[in-house]
Amino acid sequence: MRPPILRRLFRRVASAAALGLLAATLSTTAAATPAAAAGGLQQVTGFGSNPGNLQMYAYTPAGLPANAPLVVALHGCTQTASAYYTNSGWPKFADTWGFSVVFPQTTSANNSLSCFGWFDPAEDTRGKGEAASIVQMVEYAKQQYGSDGRRVYVTGLSAGGGMTADLLAAYPDVFAGGSVASGLPAQCATSQAAASGCQTGPQKLSPAQWGDKVRAAHPGYSGPWPRVAIWQGTSDYTVYPANATALRDQWTDVWGIGQTPSSTDTLPGNTTRSVYDDASGNPAVETYSVSGMGHGLPVSPGTGDQQCGTTAAYFLSAICSTYYTGVFWGLDGGTPGGGGDQLPAPGGVRATGTTDTTVSLSWNAVQGAASYAVYRNGSKIASPTATTYTDTGLTAGTAYRYTVAAVDSAGTAGTASTQVTATTTGGSTPATCYTATNYAQVTAGRAHTSGGYVYANGSNQNMGLYNVFVTHTLKESPAGYFVIADSGCATG
């Protein structure tokens, strides 16, 4: 990651001899020259304007048909594209299941430890720096390899994991899924100074606040969202397990589902998998907690169908994370997130009216639908046969999130609609207004930052730059939901 991480690692080494070995290992790796073509790994030049000064390496199995999926795999600090190609296991499944893999590489010219800039708004935001270079690699692969633009996925370890989360937030229209291994939630830090704090313990934000950081990365985008796998060792003292929890909170909130798992099971390597289903009952977010594992990507050397990779620095023997990630995405030929043929999502979902205790909804009919499933805050509440529904017994002055899925004659729910939020009228608590600088609003917990800008909690309205020179009035109603009210703030 960044130098503070390595200093923390050095302090944790038990003896001077071990310290010398670790320092020598990291020094040798950090000084590595750009990855040379290794076996089937080939360097690609001229893939675009490359604003992030990255190098592109790619592996494409022989005879790969057009419209095959594409995986982008991001190495960790002090690593190279060649090391990730050799140890991660992605080439094995590219051959088995049929897809291309792009291995972006940053170098010490960008960062002294060859870390991707997951903490730098000039590198990890939409249209900027390294993030833009990676998307240019995707476009190159679509044109040159015939990769299917609907099935592009990104995965990464450590700093590469942090960049993966940022890419999923900034480019949800590019990536259908992601996998973050020992990484950070999207936009956890927006400066190098804040990076170390994220690693050891991210901010204690609510799921909605974490979700707002994703929504702010591509304002106006309303889905579909990427399916996200989260891998974390319980004994990781470089990127602490609290980051996996924050990632879980962030992406379940983006999907509009709760933080209670739909199911939990045990996998090889002392791994616990928790699955969080979307409104259609298909996995949207999965967490994989590897008991006793430190900082690294879990691999499982061997020739078995569910084994992969080789052990090396930060490639740790436990379980083949690449296999389970690929199955989660549907690279093995299954439907991403599970399920079979599905009815499409209903369009035009909207709230047609509210009272203090009800919300009325309507949507467009879906051909082949025998009924519809209506979900409130991620939980199914009704199965109407019509294209309208009124939700009753609600609390006044409260915001509710709704999605709708078409259900076929066999009872299978299709893809969930875009989420719509409706707020009931009334409420016993009057609105409260706060006038303060953007800095003070953030400090007081009424707003949050992303990419150097401030956004009101709840409404996610852009308040401008994060400083003490910009002042806004925020109106709070209902509790925890703030809107800009500079022109006047009635509190009755």
- Just list the catalytic residues: 158
**DSSP letter (8 states) at residue 96:** I
The length of the chain is: 492
**DSSP letter (8 states) at residue 67:** T
164 membership: H or E segment, kind and range = helix 159-170
Does residue 312 contact residue 382 with C-beta atoms inside 8 Å? no
Does residue 406 contact residue 384 with C-beta atoms inside 8 Å? no
Cα–Cα dist 44/29, whole Å: 22
The total of other beta-carbon atoms located within 10 Å of residue 229's CB is 26
Cα–Cα dist 312/85, whole Å: 12
Task: Please name every residue paired with 266 in a beta bridge, in sequence order, or none if there are none.
Answer: 272
**DSSP letter (8 states) at residue 336:** T
What type of residue sits at position 64? L
Q: Is 303 exposed, middle or buried (0-12, 13-18, 19+ CB in 10 A)?
A: exposed
Please report where in the chains the tokens 């044109």 appear, as a residue. 143
Cα–Cα dist 483/463, whole Å: 10
How many helices and strands in the chain, by DSSP H and E? 12, 26
The residues, ordered by sequence, that sit 6+ positions from 93 with a Cβ below 8 Å of its Cβ are: 99, 308, 322, 323, 326, 331
Cα dihedral 327, 178, 312, 288 sign: negative
The total of other beta-carbon atoms located within 10 Å of residue 333's CB is 8
Cα–Cα dist 24/400, whole Å: 55
Torsions phi, psi for 10 (to 5 deg): -60, -40
376 membership: H or E segment, kind and range = strand 371-376
Does residue 159 contact residue 76 with C-beta atoms inside 8 Å? yes
DSSP string, 216-237: HHSTT---PPPEEEEEEETT-S
Cα–Cα dist 98/107, whole Å: 29
